[in-house]
Amino acid sequence: DQQVKQNSPSLSVQEGRISILNCDYTNSMFDYFLWYKKYPAEGPTFLISISSIKDKNEDGRFTVFLNKSAKHLSLHIVPSQPGDSAVYFCAARRGGSGAGSYQLTFGKGTKLSVIP
Amino acid sequence: EPEVTQTPSHQVTQMGQEVILRCVPISNHLYFYWYRQILGQKVEFLVSFYNNEISEKSEIFDDQFSVERPDGSNFTLKIRSTKLEDSAMYFCASSALQGRGELFFGEGSRLTVL
């Protein structure tokens, strides 16, 4: 049951260009979305998040876009740097304080390679 | 910068043995979590813990699993009788808030069950 889907297992981008990582979700109860970055042998590191009441959130080189009607979000990295090479996970959380609101549901991840 | 620390980094055990994975969450955080990632698969939620009790658990978190906060700093995951399919990377996480706070993850404990 893939409630959060990252359909591209890998992505290669030239240094300086834009990286766009995509994520789709199926559960309409999700109302908060996060992107995590993971290097090998390390735990996921929080990057940026967005609430369902917004359609865009920006933090430096990272911007997350949310299209609720399409149940789609994307992470833009501009400009891409070699140090951005990692696995990027999209995650979602249900709203409120009841069942499902404590857990993050993760996608399978997209491995980004930024080529110098 | 405060961080979540986990021990051991790697544990190898025989099937049927008990395993305890340990975590020290960030000191002012109130919510604690265990997630796992089987090789090649996605990160999966196991359990969340708040106010000294389990607030939520997944279907994976069956009777073989338990969590405990034995003192003010440690948060442990116990697997009573390990199975081959328990082999995974186990991540501890903590957060200051529940609804909108991002989770801070530790570096993980790799469990290999033979």
Question: Which residues of chain A are within 8 Å of residue B21 when distances are taken between CB atoms?
Answer: none
User: If you average pLDDT over residues B5-31, what whole number do you get?
Assistant: 95
What gap in Å lies between CA A89 and CA A33, rounded to an integer? 11
Model confidence at B96: pLDDT above 90: no
Residue A80 distance to chain B (closest CA, Å): 24
Residue A102 pLDDT greater than 90, yes or no: no
Considering chain A, what percentage of its residues have pLDDT values greater than 90? 83
Is residue A86 scored above 80 in pLDDT?
A: yes
- Chain A interface, best mutation among B103, B107, B110, by max A CB count within 10 A: B103
Q: What rounded mean pLDDT belongs to chain B?
A: 92
CB contact under 8 A, B102 and A42: no
Token pair belonging to A20: 């766009």
For A5-30, the pLDDT digits (tens) are 999 999 999 999 999 999 999 999 89
- Residue B72 is predicted with a pLDDT of 76
Q: What is the mean pLDDT of residues B67-94?
A: 94
Going A2 to B37 to B52 to A33, the CA torsion angle's sign is negative
Encoded tokens for A108? 């399978």
pLDDT value of position B100 = 59
Residue A53 touches chain B, beta carbons under 8 Å: no
- Distance (Å) of CA A77 to CA A57, B97, B102: 12, 27, 20
Q: Is A101 on the interface with B (CB under 8 A)?
A: yes
